[in-house]
Amino acid sequence: MTDDELIWRIAGGSGDGIDSTSQNFAKALMRSGLNVFTHRHYPSRIRGGHTYVEIRAKDEPVKSRGDNYNFLLALGDSFARNPQEEAYYGNEEIKPLSENLDELREGGVIVYDSGLLDASEIENFDQRAEENDWHVYDLDLRGLAKEHGREVMRNTAGVGATAALLDMDLEHIEGLMEDAMSGDVLEANLQILEEAYESVNEDYEHTHDLRAPTGSADEEQVLVSGSHGIAYGALDEGCRFISGYPMTPWTDVYTIMTQHLPEMGGISEQVEDEIAAASLAIGASHAGAKAMSGSSGGGFALMSEPLGLAEITETPIVLVEAMRAGPSTGMPTKPEQGDLEHVLYTSQGDSNRVVFAPGDPAECYEQTRKAFEIAYEYQIPAIVLYDQKLSGGHQTVPEDVFDEEPNPDIGSVVTEQDLEEAVQEAGRFKRYMYDDEESGFGGVSRRSLPGQKGGNYLASGNEHNEVGHISEDPDNRTIQMNRRMAKLDAIRTELSEEADHQPVYGPEDADYGILSFGSTKGVIEEAVDQLNDEGHSVKAMNVSDIMPFPKDEVTAFLESVDESLVVEMNASAQFRRHIQGQLGRFGEKLYSLLKYDGNPFEPEEIVSGFESRLGEEADLSQYNVRIESATGD
Amino acid sequence: MSAFNAIGEEREIDRDEFTPEIEPQATWCPGCGDFGVLKALKQAMPEVGRNPEETLLVTGIGCSGKLSSYFRSYGFHSIHGRSLPVARAAKMANPDLEVIAAGGDGDGYGIGGNHFMHTARENHDMTYIVFDNEIFGLTKGQTSPTSPKGHKSKTQPHGSAKQPIRPLSLALTSGASYVARTAAVNPNQAKEILAEAMEHDGFAHVDFLTQCPTWNKDAKQYVPYIDVQDSDDYDFDITDRGEASEMMQEAENALYEGTVLTGRFYHDEDRPSYQQEKQATGDMPEEPLAERYFDDDYEWERSYDLLERHK
């Protein structure tokens, strides 16, 4: 918990511009050469209600939100005091200040808007400030904003005050404002920024030690979310068709794609429901486009039916599943990893799908590309599984991660020359051929596209023979099932041949392991560093290939350690069960660390969870986490 | 574009080309109205000059869904109620295809009702054939959305308490730009209407009355009525929504009273198709999307060029 880092929290009401202000401030920190990680906490509500965004900035790589924070900018919830008579807006005006105190570090800095907030309304505020050595600055940000522009610009005043208190140069912030606005609005904002900066420097004595860290990261960084990673990966794979229905947090990737597809000559369709959304992706792919769709928990449940259709018709599609806390509507704006089994097993019959779970925005990009490659080469649905944390959280990523060539390859499709020589039956192309030599590899039979001469066939959701006609012949059924099932093994082999497949983090010869999947990657890496610094011997593997499961890699990992903690954000240890189910052993070596309160893990929780497993003194009762043995107590 | 050169090939088309060389054994019952749809569709194809390889027939499931097995073209036998979303995306990805969707009354007006409404509203350039026999056939005779009120079945033993769906009015209200009803027992009219529907540049809905001799012998329209209906010229302005609506209601009321009125009920040739609308707003490329993947000269844009906004 050192202060070589800034963890800046801006708190206010939903709809008060917290998100855009924090985005700009995060960028300004990045432009000053720092690495940045953002965490967004918001209620399922459009306006009003306590919300905050945390920005962690450090000279070294930042992989998680960190433990607690050290700078609070409390703006007040302007929608809590809506003047409309008889409208109920609650009484939450004070929350941006009162709700955030528990996590503020000792010696931390508080700037609050005295134009909206009254600290004396908060029980024991002064006493707590004194005990924790907090440095409190009350500024009439609202008044300042009103004086020079409009009330909403109080965010800008807050940023100006922040810059003064942290000894930051205004240059990057001003530059961003000039990029984003113009005219009177820009003038007013610049003036407010300047005024706030000056008045803090002139009127307040700076009693705190906290200063913005100096950045030395090279400038070739970009600030992107996991949703950007997925959208950009899809675009670079030549995905030019997306269909969807809005649902938090899947909407992020859907809207990013929609912003760019028309100008790139692609098509985005908002449709009536998620059954339609996935079915449209199937239709577009069948006709020869690279297509994707997606949703979150409840919406993905509706896609169960078309998912099976894509599998049996062998139509390549990529679906995105952005997890949020369930069951049912659950907590729409909170992260959880509770849809793992849903994604693995949804749909009828012995169905196969490929599932990737990227751990950070860069992996979102890389694995979405991989998902398209595998889906189109093997004619199988591929799912990119991530969660609300990764969906909206932004992180600095080296720009060259995205410096890759596009791949418009449509996969295993026949040419018309092939069709001239292809085996036909009953006037139809043997699209679902099961002769390995003729059809290719790993269960894949090449497909033709509607419009290709000599390639007509029937893609059927019923079990079908080689030309696609419905068939209940037992021999055909067995062969077709075997052929479709063979794909997963072939994909597993192909993926395992990639360099650095399922990399291990930490010392290779460590005694203990931590296993995880998806968005917990960064926070676990930070915890591993901390544990090893403290003299433990720990390494971690964040598994990104969920299906087909990298059995050899995970087996080798588990064989090399005494025991392993499986860290995941759900209540029923779904990922641990998946490991046990896939490997059929290691129950005695696996312990779960579970968190499902709607907030992502912080490094400290993992460190404490790990230490408590080793019988060391660690108080888990202060956290919403639980340790569970794979074999029961 | 070598990938799709069957499209636009000009030649004489023979209806027999749409028959698979070895016909799979039809699972329809003897006397089933579905044979009439298949026959009419095969007869309509040469009239619109489409060959099997540029035609994509997307079906749902149930007896009607098997149409794609007995019709030789590119086919997609999808799932119950979902033929429309599959079909309309295929049309968007490759507008050069002749896209036909087909399903039953349960499929189209029940489980797929939502898709029907929205596909009609968007006015995709495609033909939608609904096999309307007022019954669930393949699941053995349950009440369907078009079964008359009072209809008794194993799932409604005391008689259905529901009013039937009014497919023609529903199509019109939803935004279909061509609405017609025909019947398996009237093959010449059926052929003409299907050909007209395919040539129509917009969403053409054809409510196709079919008889189910196994589960719904009592339905009124199964009495051969060619003699009953003298003509399908009802003397109203077919392009006027108000007049079309009145005529549709008359036909829909009459059906359950024993008079079967078939024919064309609405034809709006002026309304742009969804594809045209979407191209006009810049949301859809002029060239078929599907062809781009085979164009070696096409320059694919890179996400790298989008990074400016993230710096």
Q: Which of B74, B91, B92, B126 should we substitute to test contact with A (largest number of A Cβ atoms within 10 Å)?
A: B74
**Chain A, nearest residue to B285 by Cα:** A265
**Chain A, nearest residue to B311 by Cα:** A222
Q: Are A613 and A627 in contact (CB under 8 A)?
A: yes
- Beta-strand relationship, A590-595 and A625-629: antiparallel
pLDDT at A198: 95
Amino acid at A399: E
What contacts A298, CB < 8 A, 6 or more positions away? A247, A326, A328, A329
**Residue A26's closest CA among A34, A408, A550, A237?**
A34
Look at A48-52, A128-132, B122-126, B239-243 and tell me which has the smallest mean pLDDT: A48-52
Q: Which two tokens stand for residue A374?
A: 């595998």
pLDDT above 60 (res A89): no
Record: contact B290-A289, CB cut-off 8 A = yes
C-alpha distances out from residue A467 to A420, A457, A603, Å: 16, 6, 55
Chain A positions touching B283 (Cβ under 8 A) are 262, 267-268
Dihedral sign of CA atoms A561, A567, A572, A573 in order: negative
pLDDT at A472: 93
Q: Are A465 and A471 in contact (CB under 8 A)?
A: yes
pLDDT above 90 (res B273): yes
**Residue B38's closest CA among B63, B67, B17, B64?**
B67
Q: Are B214 and B138 in contact (CB under 8 A)?
A: no
- Give the mean pLDDT of A429-455: 84
Rounded to whole angstroms, the Cα distance separating A505 from B6 reads 54
Q: Which of B7, B22, B293 should we substitute to test contact with A (largest number of A Cβ atoms within 10 Å)?
A: B293
User: In terms of C-beta density within 10 A (0-12 exposed, 13-18 middle, 19 or more buried), how is residue A597 classed?
Assistant: middle
DSSP secondary structure of A414-451: --HHHHHHS-EETTEE-TT---HHHH-STT---B--TT
Percentage of residues of chain A with pLDDT beyond 70: 96
Confidence of residue B205 (pLDDT cuts 50, 70, 90): very high
Chain A positions touching B88 (Cβ under 8 A) are 280, 283
Cα torsion through A342, A348, A351, A352, rounded to 10: -30
Please report the number of interchain residue pairs, chain A to chain B, with beta-carbon separation below 8 angstroms: 235
- Give the mean pLDDT of A593-603: 97
pLDDT at B1: 47
Q: Are A325 and A296 in contact (CB under 8 A)?
A: no
Q: Is the peptide bond before A327 cis (omega within 30 degrees of 0)?
A: yes
Compare CB distances from A232 to B3, B96, B303 and report the shortest one's residue.
B303
Compare CB distances from A260 to B5, B77, B306 and report the shortest one's residue.
B306
Chain A positions touching B115 (Cβ under 8 A) are 272, 276
pLDDT tens per residue, range B155-186:
999 999 999 999 999 999 999 999 999 999 88
In this complex, is the C-beta atom of A268 within 8 Å of any C-beta atom belonging to chain B? yes
Record: contact A287-B56, CB cut-off 8 A = yes
Chain B positions touching A227 (Cβ under 8 A) are none
Record: contact A279-B85, CB cut-off 8 A = yes
Amino acid at B56: L
Q: Which two tokens stand for residue A325?
A: 């806390």
Chain B positions touching A224 (Cβ under 8 A) are 310
Record: contact A233-B90, CB cut-off 8 A = no
Distance from CA of A187 to the nearest CA of B (A): 22
**Chain B, nearest residue to A180 by Cα:** B309
Look at A256-270, A371-385, B28-42, B215-229 and tell me which has the smallest mean pLDDT: B215-229
pLDDT tens per residue, range B216-229:
887 665 655 544 56
Amino acid at A611: E
* SS3 category, A325: strand
In this complex, is the C-beta atom of A218 within 8 Å of any C-beta atom belonging to chain B? no
Distance from CA of B230 to the nearest CA of A (A): 40
Q: Are A548 and A492 in contact (CB under 8 A)?
A: yes
pLDDT tens per residue, range A317-369:
999 999 999 999 999 999 999 999 999 999 999 999 999 999 999 999 999 99
pLDDT above 70 (res A438): no
Compare CB distances from B73 to A27, A275, A456 and report the shortest one's residue.
A456
Confidence of residue A78 (pLDDT cuts 50, 70, 90): confident
Place of tokens 């990764």: A390
pLDDT above 70 (res A468): yes
Residue A149 sits at φ, ψ, to 5 deg, of -165, -120
Look at A73-87, A238-252, A584-598 and tell me which has the smallest mean pLDDT: A73-87
Chain centroid to Cα A107, Å, comes to 32
Place of tokens 């060959």: B51
**Residue A572's closest CA among A541, A589, A595, A603?**
A595
Rounded (10°) angle between helices A171-180 and A154-165: 160
Number of continuous H segments (helices) and E segments (strands) in chain A: 22, 24
Chain centroid to Cα A286, Å, comes to 29
H-helix or E-strand spanning residue A566: strand A563-568
The model's pTM is: 0.96
What contacts A515, CB < 8 A, 6 or more positions away? A540, A541, A543, A554, A557, A558, A564, A565, A566, A567, A575, A576, A579, A590
C-alpha distances out from residue A551 to A34, A492, A514, A524, Å: 38, 9, 16, 21
Rounded to whole angstroms, the Cα distance separating A479 from A445 reads 13
pLDDT at B227: 47
Mean pLDDT of chain A: 93
CB atoms within 10 A of CB B9: 12
Q: Are A215 and A33 in contact (CB under 8 A)?
A: yes
**Chain A, nearest residue to B300 by Cα:** A406
Rounded to whole angstroms, the Cα distance separating B300 from B308 reads 18
Rounded to whole angstroms, the Cα distance separating A84 from A77 reads 15
- Give the mean pLDDT of B256-284: 94
**Residue A564's closest CA among A544, A533, A534, A543?**
A543
Per DSSP, which regions of A399-548 are E strands?
Answer: 424-425, 428-429, 458-460, 504-505, 512-517, 538-543, 545-547
Confidence of residue A77 (pLDDT cuts 50, 70, 90): confident
pLDDT above 80 (res A55): yes
* SS3 category, A26: helix
Confidence of residue A1 (pLDDT cuts 50, 70, 90): very low
pLDDT above 70 (res A410): yes
pLDDT at B21: 80
Amino acid at A587: G
Interface of A with B in 33-92 (CB under 8 A): none
- Distance between first and last Cα of chain A: 34
DSSP secondary structure of A292-303: EEEE-HHHHHHT
What contacts A259, CB < 8 A, 6 or more positions away? none
Chain A positions touching B15 (Cβ under 8 A) are none
pLDDT at B260: 86
Q: Are A408 and A238 in contact (CB under 8 A)?
A: yes
Could you tell me the maximum CA-CA distance found in chain B, to the nearest angstrom? Answer: 76
Distance from CA of B250 to the nearest CA of A (A): 31
Query: How many CA within 13 A on the CB side of residue A630?
Result: 22
Interface of A with B in 296-355 (CB under 8 A): 305-306, 309, 313
Q: Are A625 and A595 in contact (CB under 8 A)?
A: yes
In this complex, is the C-beta atom of A281 within 8 Å of any C-beta atom belonging to chain B? yes
